[in-house]
Structure 1
Amino acid sequence: MKSIHANNMLPPKPERHRLFGSTDPIPGSKPTVKEQMTDLQNHHADYLFPIQHVGVSNVRHPIQVHSDIEPKRQTSIATMTLTTSLPQASKGINMSRLTEQLEMYRQKGLSSELADMCDFVHELAERMGQDKAEITISFPWFYERTAPVTGFAGLNHAEATIQTTYEKGQPYRTIVSLNAAVTTLCPCSKEISEYSAHNQRGRVTMTVEIDPASPPAHDWKAMLLAAAESNASSALHPVLKRPDEKRVTEQAYENPRFVEDMVRLVAADLYEMDDVLAFKVECRNEESIHLHDAYAIIDFDKRKEGAAR
């Protein structure tokens, strides 16, 4: 078969497109002007059920993050969910307004500050003509950590999450979460072995509800990180020289922790924080001598009268 470009000449681009299946536009009869187009979302009838949350999820977007720990100003990439409520009589929402609002806030410098999140959901509910709106953002938060002996510095990161809810006639609701990694050394292994003990990387997730009307005076991310690291066998470090490695290894041996120990100790710190209204603490130890993980969880609401400790 003769090559279509035997003379070292390709056919024009429109011909190439037709070669691979492109066709000419089909003449249409439907309106092309927005005001003349049918708006299905605004149809009203009895649509069986109200919807508590409808919107967009898995939205990736840059966000400004402020921190009490260096780097104190950073840009991170957040994964977002933006939703509103929808009454039973309404068919749908105008979803383009959700990302339209996000772009408007980006141009103003969208940040993870709790006050900004409250402003965002309030304005979103009004823009959408709904009684309720919610935004959830998750992003990697970077913090500087220095080696305990040599002082060499580097960046660690933890996963931060903020969920802010506005509902007409109700106070704002804000739930924040931090997932941080620590070292835990097995107390049982230390107790029964003639020497040494196995350790593992622990993942501590602290989810707390705070009052956005009177937010903590200090960075909530740093507060939760301190609760996890100060109760662990050892913190993790991005840079360790031999003197540092000796220090953290011995520190872990001196502070053995079961997952049960971790969730109770972290819970005690959160219980003592006046800014925390309710909390959930999870610890998952990635076992070094098993294929499974060890896991524990505590869920506690300080607002419930007579709650037993």
Structure 2
Amino acid sequence: MSKGLEDIQNTPADVPLDINRVGIKSLKLPLEILDKQKGLQHTVAEVDLSVDLPKEFKGTHMSRFLEALASWEKKLSYESLKKLLLDLQHKLHAKQAHVSFVFPYFLEQKSPASGQVFEMDFLAKVEGNMKGKELSFVLKVAVPVMTVCPCSLAISDKGAHSQRTFVSITAQIKKFLWLEDLIEIALKSGSSPVYPLLKREDEKKVTENAFSNPTFVEDVVRNVARELNDLDNILWYKVEVESYESIHNHSAYAIIESFDATKLNKS
């Protein structure tokens, strides 16, 4: 007589405490992303999935996370993310469900003088959290730019120090916002964008443009925040800028965070 398959997960927890999130992390998944210029873009994402677990249950059912992904369309959008989260809630009998996708996102960048085009990668994150029937949808991008120090330029007889600066934008949105829109805001926030392909004439133009537009890390974070303040689709944002200094053994950084409870209540 065969032994029955006992469901240990559904037995009470030895330690009666609720768990905020339990699930799987660092799963690699091929994914289609909406592309503003080309319609769709194929990439590979690192995926985290989780749900809440009450103290009445010893464990969750890990296989059901994969089952939800298996039946999902693997085409990332506001509506498809919502569908996945609702399915996770249903399959795992959860009140809350969370998912995040981290992936490289590619945009064609045109060299400023020669006009040559090459794709450049930007790190992106799409995150969704479903609490009951309320969806929180968050986008994040990390974008490198070049900055030239205004103080160094003002006090030096020759030249000034410059650095690679990373702009990170995290934004909670209402319905939809192109990743490209956030990336473009970041690219124009510093002294100059950076490019994947530069000929000599491009290097000359980039350098001259950057030195004619010196920016502190404080300037960069304010430039980004000003643009984000004009977007009605954003409920909340956080802008983080870190400058990897070329003449110091430390970084400079600045953060601006916006929180508007009235907007969140209307979402």
Q: TM-score range by the shorter chain?
A: over 0.9
1:148-175 residue CA offsets vs partner (Å, 9 max, x unmatched): 111100011111111101121x421111
- For residue 30 of structure 1, report the CA deviation from its aligned partner: 7.7
Q: Is 1:95 paired with 2:62?
A: yes
1:249-300 residue CA offsets vs partner (Å, 9 max, x unmatched): 0110011111111111101111111111111000111111122111111111
The answer for the alignment partner of 1:197 in structure 2 is 160
* Aligned residues between the structures: 263
- For residue 46 of structure 1, report the CA deviation from its aligned partner: 7.2
Structure 2 letter corresponding to 1:163: E
Alpha carbon RMSD of aligned pairs, Å? 1.7
Task: Note the 1:176-191 alignment, pairs <5 A.
Answer: 176-191=139-154
The two structures have a TM-score, normalised by structure 1, of 0.81
Counterparts of 1:131 and 1:90 in 2: how far apart (Å)?
Answer: 14
Counterparts of 2:40 and 2:97 in 1: how far apart (Å)?
Answer: 28
1:55–1:82: 8 Å Cα contact kept in structure 2?
yes
Q: Is 1:174 paired with 2:141?
A: no
Task: Note the 1:55-74 alignment, pairs <5 A.
Answer: 55-69=23-37, 72-74=39-41
Structure 2 letter corresponding to 1:120: L
The answer for the alignment partner of 2:108 in structure 1 is 144
1:47–1:89: 8 Å Cα contact kept in structure 2?
no
SS of residue matched to 2:6:
coil
SS of residue matched to 1:231:
coil
SS of residue matched to 1:38:
coil
Q: Is 1:211 paired with 2:174?
A: yes
The answer for the alignment partner of 1:251 in structure 2 is 209
More strand as a share of residues: 2
1:277–1:302: 8 Å Cα contact kept in structure 2?
yes
The answer for the alignment partner of 2:43 in structure 1 is 76
Structure 2 letter corresponding to 1:48: P
Counterparts of 1:197 and 1:302 in 2: how far apart (Å)?
Answer: 39
Mark the runs of 5 or more structure 1 residues left unpaired by the alignment: 1-28
**Structure 2 counterpart of 1:156, from 100, 115, 120:** 120
Query: Greater Rg, structure 1 or structure 2?
Result: 1
Mark the runs of 5 or more structure 2 residues left unpaired by the alignment: none
The answer for the alignment partner of 1:270 in structure 2 is 228
SS of residue matched to 1:172:
strand
**Structure 2 counterpart of 1:299, from 257, 261, 266:** 257
Structure 1 letter corresponding to 2:50: T
Structure 1 letter corresponding to 2:135: Y
1:51–1:86: 8 Å Cα contact kept in structure 2?
yes
- For residue 93 of structure 1, report the CA deviation from its aligned partner: 0.7
Counterparts of 1:30 and 1:199 in 2: how far apart (Å)?
Answer: 72
Counterparts of 2:24 and 2:182 in 1: how far apart (Å)?
Answer: 29
Counterparts of 1:197 and 1:304 in 2: how far apart (Å)?
Answer: 44
1:104-158 residue CA offsets vs partner (Å, 9 max, x unmatched): 22xx3x0221211111001111011111111011100000001111110001111
The answer for the alignment partner of 1:15 in structure 2 is none
- For residue 193 of structure 1, report the CA deviation from its aligned partner: 0.5
- For residue 226 of structure 1, report the CA deviation from its aligned partner: 1.4
- For residue 73 of structure 1, report the CA deviation from its aligned partner: 2.4
